[in-house]
Amino acid sequence: MDTALARRRLALIAFFFLPGFALASWVTRTPAIRDSVQASIAEMGLILLGLSFGSMVGVLLSGAIVARHGARPATKYGLSLIVLSMATLGLGAAAGSQGIVALGLAFFGLGAGTAEIALNVDGADVERRMGRPFLHSLHGFFSFGTVCGALAGLGMTALHVPVAWHLGGVAAICAALILVYLPHLPEGIGQEKPHHSDQPEAMASLWRDRRLLLIGLIVLAMALAEGSANDWLPILMVDEYGFSQASGSLVFLAFASAMTLGRFCGGWFLRRFGRARVMRACAVLGATGIALVIFSSSAILAGSAVVLWGLGASLGFPVAISAAGDSGSNPAGRVRVVAIAGYIAFLVGPPLLGFIGEHYGLRSALIVVLCLVATAAVAAPAVASPAVASPAVSGRGGHAH
């Protein structure tokens, strides 16, 4: 591997790590921030809507930005917004303002959504140049970032470091990573002219592909399984099981560690057993973990069950996105269709679970997630590789690859 490619590869690792680190820094402090802004469960659901809305806008804009200007500008602006988000969240916590916290989350969602597609485009180009799989491990470094962020957040919570100081420090670390590694990303990656496959009639035909819609259902379920833990897990453990704030952060650390383990080790299982069987196993594991969190009378068992939850959620999103890409012609359009399903989960999930949690408790709210993940287990054959896809789920999408 030449030096420029090696540096570019290291830059991508750093830039996948960065959003995970920042996300977990916020998540581990959600109980403290909730208390500082005096928000109810329902109000927290509305605050979290800022994150979901920002993510949706970022993802919808990112494709156009990358196509017009290339991946590097989208990466720069997206990651810079994450730096701004950490500073804004710290300010909102210090000021006790729900509005400023929601604004900070909107900045984070907009930045992460914008950078995500750009980084995946750049990573796919590096993967082609390397001649071996690379994107899979990049998503693992995002999860590794969540582990490091959760560890730091656990320490800051245990030491009673104010949220503003903690998140201000995270902003400084993220800014330093951008300054050091951005020069290693080349200009022009991902720039392209408009294709016929992006025309409205071509996209509309994809929404009639039964197999693609089943993959979208899986993405919806698994994205909600991952997102609900990111949004609610520490608060759930504090409110429903009586954990301290530091212990609630520790439970989230266990979830993030399980996600990381699943993503780094998943490649062997995918090669050995295939996508459909791995997806079904993940959905069953995830459903088992979520069920134990909902129905267990033991705080220790519920806290331990998040390991199953994390392992189950780890491969769902990337495997389903990969399946969408080779489910027929127009792979970019197919990925966009199922990605929309994932971001619907991120958009609707927080306020929906917050509303149910306010009236019936967060454990009851998770029954919605449990039912969807169980449905994903039934729909798992839809993600099979084209050569072995079941006729029952193949729909009208051809096998272009």
Q: In this predicted structure, what is the pLDDT of residue 193?
A: 60
Q: What is the rounded CA–CA span in Å between residue 249 and residue 8?
A: 33
3-state SS string for the chain: CCHHHHHHHHHHHHHHHHHHHHHHHHHHCHHHHHHHCCCCHHHHHHHHHHHHHHHHHHHHHHHHHHHHHCHHHHHHHHHHHHHHHHHHHHHHHHHCCHHHHHHHHHHHHHHHHHHHHHHHHHHHHHHHHHCCCCHHHHHHHHHHHHHHHHHHHHHHHHCCCCHHHHHHHHHHHHHHHHHHHHHHCCCCCCCCCCCHHHCHHHHHHHCCCHHHHHHHHHHHHHHHHHHHHHHHHHHHHHHHHCCCHHHHHHHHHHHHHHHHHHHHHHHHHHHHHCHHHHHHHHHHHHHHHHHHHHHCCCHHHHHHHHHHHHHHHHCHHHHHHHHHHCCCCCHHHHHHHHHHHHHHHHHHHHHHHHHHHHHHCHHHHHHHHHHHHHHHHHHHHHHCCHHHCCHHHHCCCCCCC
pLDDT on residue 331? 63
Model pTM?
Answer: 0.79
Residue numbers in the chain where pLDDT is lower than 50? 197, 388-401
Domains annotated for the chain, with CATH where assigned, are: 1-183 (1.20.1250.20), 202-401 (1.20.1250.20)
Give residue 198's pLDDT.
Answer: 52
pLDDT of residue 395: 38
What's the pLDDT at 132?
66
Res 21: pLDDT = 97
